[in-house]
Every structure is written in structure tokens, then in C-alpha cells.
Amino acid sequence: MLQITRAADLAMVGANGGGWVAPLGTPGPTALGTPPSPWTGLGAISDDGLKYGIDEDHKEFTPWGVTSAFRTQITKSVRTFGLTMWETNAPIVKSLMFRLPVADLTPGADGVAKFAETASPSPDRRSWFFLVADGDSMEGFYVPSGEITDRSDVTYKSEDMAGYDIKVTAYPDATNNTVYHLFTTKAPVTPPATSAPKS
């Protein structure tokens, strides 16, 4: 009978996690966990978690007289991260959603912060760090240059939490890398072999 080794400790469930943002060019964390200043946390993220997107296109080259390709060329390779930020009144979250410096959201003497949305937004690239945790198993994603390229509608109603549903596109850095990965490694814990039952 075929025996397949399966190690549950090498599988991962996105049970917990977080996101942080920092000024463009901020070096990535060297350890898994909460990154230090100047990284700023995004706060509560919806229970939909984090979506790591891979968008690729390719072109196949098939020789004359042959029915299968003998070469494939990648023509597009984009990485994105999707999440919904729930702490919509946090200055850093407003700053990201509306492409504003956090300093522009300082409240006045009356405790009210004010801003206007421009009809001609400028690019707003920043450094990002995302962390997914499953107990003591963790995986981190450092994006040296990322920008929010998609913002979904915001719904306000009594039975739902208002949130900013965003997609962050990762751009290449000076070494042509878009995402840096960090993850915990483990030796698989395999159950002991059991002897066959006696007949």
C-alpha cells in the first residue's frame, strides 16, 4: 500500500496577521514579527485576511510543423496584495486611502481633522510589510516600493463594518525585485509508523 508522509506543521492557515507601511525606501525587517519604527501598523484587518495576487501573461512560440510550444516567454509578471482596513478613522489608514501625508490629517483645536480629495492625485509609493501567522509559523512579505492601485467602494450601514478594501501593487526596486519573502522553517514532525493489525 502506498504510504505518503504528511506533515501538518508544514501546512499553514492564515489565522492571524497584520500589515505595516513606511516611507518609500525604508529597509525591510530582518526578523519576523512587529517591525520597529518608522513602520506604522494598519490596525485591524477584516477577517477576509490577506490576498497575495500573482498576475502573469506569457507568449508561446510553436515551430512550424509542430503542435506544441518549444519556448514560452513571460510578458507580464505583477504581484499584488489585497486586504480590507477596518480602522478607517486612523490617520495612517486615511492617509493611505486618500493619498495624503499623515501630517495633513492633524486635527484642529476643535478636534476635527479636515481634508479635500483632489481631482488630480499624485503617485503615492511607500514601503509595505505584511505578516501572516499560524501559531509559531510565520511568513512575511516585504514590498520595498508599493502603491495602492485599486480602491473598492465604501459602504456604511448598520449591519456591516465600514472598511477600505484596497489592492497594493508591488513595483521593482533598484535590484529589480518586487517582493522579499521571509518564513519560518521547521523540520517536519511525522507520526510514528504503526504496525499492521494482526489477522
| Residue 2 reports pLDDT greater than 90 | no
Instruction: Provide mean pLDDT across the span 98-118.
Output: 93
Report the pLDDT value the prediction gives residue 5, as an integer from 0 to 100. Answer: 84
Average pLDDT over residues 150-168: 96
pLDDT at site 196: 53
CA distance 40 to 101: 13
- Name beta bridge partners: 83: 166
Average pLDDT over residues 36-44: 96
Lowest-confidence range among 7-11, 15-19, 60-64, 135-139?
7-11
CB contact set of 179 (below 8 Å; sequence gap of 6+) = 79, 141, 142, 143, 170
Average pLDDT, the chain: 92
What are the residues facing 59 on neighbouring strands? 73
Task: Count how many Cα atoms sit within 13 Å of the Cα of residue 57 in the half-sphere of its side chain.
Answer: 3
Beta strands (DSSP E) in 62-163 are 71-85, 126-134, 137-151
